[in-house]
Structure 1
Amino acid sequence: MRIFTLPVGLAVGLVSLPRAYAWGAAGHEIVATIAQIHLSKPVLSLVCDILHPSLNLATNPEDEAYPPCHLASIASWADKIRMRPEYRYTAPLHYVNAVDDAPPHACPFPGTHGWQGRPTGNILAAIGNVTHVLRDFVRGERGAGDAEEALKFLVHFMGDMHQPLHMSGREKGGNGVRVAWNGRVTNLHSVWDGLLIAQAVRLTPRNYTYPLPGSEGAFVEPHLRGAIYDPYIRRIMHEGLSVGGKFDPESDAWSDCPAPAAALESATDSLGAKGTVAYALSLLGLGDSARMEALLDLDFYGALGLTTRPGTENEWDDESVCPYAWARPIHDAELRPDSPCLPYDVVDFLDMTILDGEESAQKGEGAHAQGGRPRHPELLELDTPAYAGRLARGWVVERLLAMAGVRLAGVLTDIFADMAGDLQA
């Protein structure tokens, strides 16, 4: 049974894949593990019960080993099944492409011409849709089979959304940009899918090969499976998400969704000056409540000659799950305040030069063949201090993985906390 209603109108995964599978298997498993670490025992037990119905853990968690299951084991399921005939409809649900998207020179999201493809056939709509399915399950309106499938999709899609190239349509999300990595031919998308993570795993300090001590270890260690990326997760948790860590000041707000008034202001302001919805509304002299009603009126938008509601293109954002609001900064790349449209701020597709002017990262320099000469001098080498090194120094990839895990945990908690509490009572 399809859970998506589309209205009309490392050991595995540390290598790049031939198609656009965000983060590769390792990245998705890292996101899922970080999320699991942040779930309460009752919620995790209920989630495991949905994923593994035969375990019947939710009602008797005290009798079972903890954790009862690992979300990492299903994190890549949505990629594995996407080419099956019955699941081919899910292929476009792993990304979203804006029509006017042209980073690094322009970053509309989605821009005045909306999204490419079906407005409901993208990752933002998919995240909203599967959360609706899970909420219906909590209310008793959906069966366990639907909930299991929706949960597997949600774990995966939350990871997809935090891979910046899945938020951009230029050059097919970077798949069409041939680059070099350590002297080997690849593409920009593959660099972000797995090669950056593989390098980070390889360069994780050796002290993280040992379990974390004390209360932090008790919080983290039970959820690790002996995977090659476990030291990397320990580092993200200890240096990034712990009290006083790199992400401590901001991580509490990662799961927040903007209030309706703030979302309205962002939507209208994002379109600029005259000829926009904001300008049209100002001419009407509408108050805040009337402005909101107008923004939600499709006929009003049609009268303005627009096919979508800018800033609110998908109907899935609400007060607790807001994929559009979360995705927009990832696309606009508020990942480094001094550069727009990361990762396209580094590679200019017109002449393939480094935009920040670092001479050390010119074409072909970096990784060399055994003879000391570039293997592919015609390509831009990205395994350099100017590109990969700068991302590593800024903890850009680690922040995205941590953000995806924390938000996934927040969504699951919002959906299942009451039901899990009732089962424990």
Structure 2
Amino acid sequence: MRLSRPLAALFISSSIPAAYAWGAAGHEIIATIAQMYLHPSIVPTICDILDYSPDDATTTQPQPCHLAPISTWADKFRFKMRWSSALHYVGPLDDHPSQTCLFPGERGWAGSRGGNVLDGIKNVTSLLEDWTRGEANDGTANEALKFLIHFMGDLHMPLHLTGRDRGGNSDKVLWSGRQTNLHSLWDGLLIAKAIRTVPRNYSRPLPYPDVEHALRGTIYDSYIRRIMWEGVFQKWSDQVPEWFSCPEATPASAGEIGIWQQVVMNWKRLSGGKQGVEIGPDTDVVCPYHWAKPIHALNCDVVWPKELDEPPYGGGIKFADEDDGEEDAAGRPPKPHPPLLELDTPKYAGVIEDTMVVEKLLAQSGIRLAGILNYLFLKDAARS
């Protein structure tokens, strides 16, 4: 797929490697929840922009237009779109969960100006607004919409909001006795376990046509029903209206810092200290910084195990690098590797499951995505 130049030109390329968020199932679940909340009048517009067609070219029956199949497009094509790599995450400097969660600290944000998931969401939303006014072409709108659907998922993955250890990719752990890393655990393993353990009663349809109409006969349909029934309709029902809210003005450039702190930051920059970039402010309708702050805080509250910074798993204990385990040049035997922390335990996974942390993030992402799409295209429908 060829990139439209106007969209590519919005962002500055970055050499920082991208990390996946939520995996395919997570992104598709988010898109499916969003589908439930789309105003019916905007669905044809969205389908026209996406030039929707089913992934399976052998399908002979007409397939209903759905957001889920294109929700992973930005990951599938990221190697062809290296300029977009940094748009999948944001790295606040001085951030070091589980001890310290700063969003950001005094030095601001890592990366390039405009090259992060917070600004990415605002930029592609702006492009879609341009399209509704006739100021952007269909190709630009197509890519912007696919990016928006994906970036809203990335925003709600806590490890995409921390600057430590490549979002947990560098932190090896155990899951049910098998080696993985902290990012991969949140990327898909927690969701995979949740799907496997959904009570059997959720295999039956819910008495909500909007929910059932959005489901596609996938392995995670029962899981979505549980999220909606136990979470959205019950546990979080009083909170859902707040999920859409944005303050009138949310400072996102350097994390609510004062004039004196700005002076300190400028001094550090002029004296050669490592200085981060600023991020554009939220709006009163699209406020990814405001939404992301409590998600980022989860890194200290529940995501990052304190044990990873304590002996024997961490805490300054030096072990050999993970190589082939052979003797060194002096004939000395290799040093032992550190033990790996098992996280499929009541203390870690059990708490996450009982509090429905992952399920709430998926629901928030889907409902907020629907809110942005309704805002964008209901205005267009009203004008036409």
2:238 maps to 1:241: no
Q: Deviations over 1:166-225 (max 9, x none)?
A: 001211100000000011110000000000000001111101111112xx2x12111111
Quote the Cα distance in structure 2 between the aligned partners of 1:416 and 1:212: 28
Q: Deviations over 1:246-305 (max 9, x none)?
A: 111111111211122xx35x9898548x9425xx8xxxxxxxxxxxxxxxxxxx985896
Q: How far apart are 1:353 and its partner, in Å?
A: 6.4
- Give 1:326's aligned amino acid: W
Quote the Cα distance in structure 1 between the aligned partners of 2:373 and 2:63: 16
Question: Contact between 2:107 and 2:254, CA under 8 Å: does it hold in 1?
Answer: no
Q: How far apart are 1:100 and its partner, in Å?
A: 0.8
SS at match of 2:118: helix
Q: 2:72 aligns with which of 70, 76, 81?
A: 76
In structure 2, the CA distance between the partners of 1:76 and 1:412, relative to structure 1 (3 Å rule), is same
Q: Deviations over 1:29-60 (max 9, x none)?
A: 000000010111112221112112699xxxxx
Q: Give runs of aligned pairs for residues 362-373 of structure 1, distance below 5 A.
A: none
Quote the Cα distance in structure 1 between the aligned partners of 2:134 and 2:169: 42
In structure 2, the CA distance between the partners of 1:177 and 1:268, relative to structure 1 (3 Å rule), is closer
Question: Contact between 2:27 and 2:153, CA under 8 Å: does it hold in 1?
Answer: yes
Question: Contact between 1:67 and 1:222, CA under 8 Å: does it hold in 2?
Answer: no
In structure 2, the CA distance between the partners of 1:211 and 1:346, relative to structure 1 (3 Å rule), is farther
Q: Give runs of aligned pairs for residues 398-409 of structure 1, distance below 5 A.
A: 398-409=359-370
In structure 2, the CA distance between the partners of 1:350 and 1:116, relative to structure 1 (3 Å rule), is farther
2:110 maps to 1:119: no
2:201 maps to 1:207: yes
Percent identity of paired positions between Structure 1 and Structure 2: 49
Q: What is aligned with 2:83? A: 89
Q: What is aligned with 2:345? A: 384
Question: Contact between 2:18 and 2:88, CA under 8 Å: does it hold in 1?
Answer: no
Quote the Cα distance in structure 1 between the aligned partners of 2:12 and 2:205: 52
2:276 maps to 1:276: no
Unaligned segments of structure 1, at least 5 residues? 10-17, 56-64, 281-299, 334-338, 355-375
Q: How far apart are 1:313 and its partner, in Å?
A: 3.3
- Give 1:331's aligned amino acid: H
Q: Deviations over 1:120-175 (max 9, x none)?
A: 11111111110011000001000111111100000000001100000012111000
Q: What is aligned with 1:319? A: 284
TM-score normalised per structure 2 = 0.82
In structure 2, the CA distance between the partners of 1:139 and 1:205, relative to structure 1 (3 Å rule), is same
2:173 maps to 1:179: yes
2:11 maps to 1:44: no
- Give 1:72's aligned amino acid: A
Quote the Cα distance in structure 1 between the aligned partners of 2:313 and 2:104: 27
SS at match of 1:236: helix
Quote the Cα distance in structure 1 between the aligned partners of 2:382 and 2:93: 44
Would you identify which runs of 4 or more consecutive aligned residues in structure 1 move more than 2 Å?
4-9, 65-68, 266-272, 274-277, 300-307, 339-342, 345-354, 420-423
Q: What is aligned with 1:15? A: none
Question: Contact between 1:100 and 1:111, CA under 8 Å: does it hold in 2?
Answer: yes
Quote the Cα distance in structure 2 between the aligned partners of 1:44 and 1:207: 31
Question: Contact between 1:124 and 1:316, CA under 8 Å: does it hold in 2?
Answer: no
Quote the Cα distance in structure 2 between the aligned partners of 1:256 and 1:127: 16
Quote the Cα distance in structure 1 between the aligned partners of 2:267 and 2:356: 45
Question: Contact between 1:314 and 1:324, CA under 8 Å: does it hold in 2?
Answer: no
Unaligned segments of structure 2, at least 5 residues? 55-60, 315-336
TM-score normalised per structure 1 = 0.74
RMSD (CA atoms):
3.3
Q: What is aligned with 1:191? A: 185
In structure 2, the CA distance between the partners of 1:322 and 1:269, relative to structure 1 (3 Å rule), is closer
Q: Give runs of aligned pairs for residues 163-178 of structure 1, distance below 5 A.
A: 163-178=157-172
Quote the Cα distance in structure 2 between the aligned partners of 1:27 and 1:7: 26
Quote the Cα distance in structure 1 between the aligned partners of 2:297 and 2:23: 22
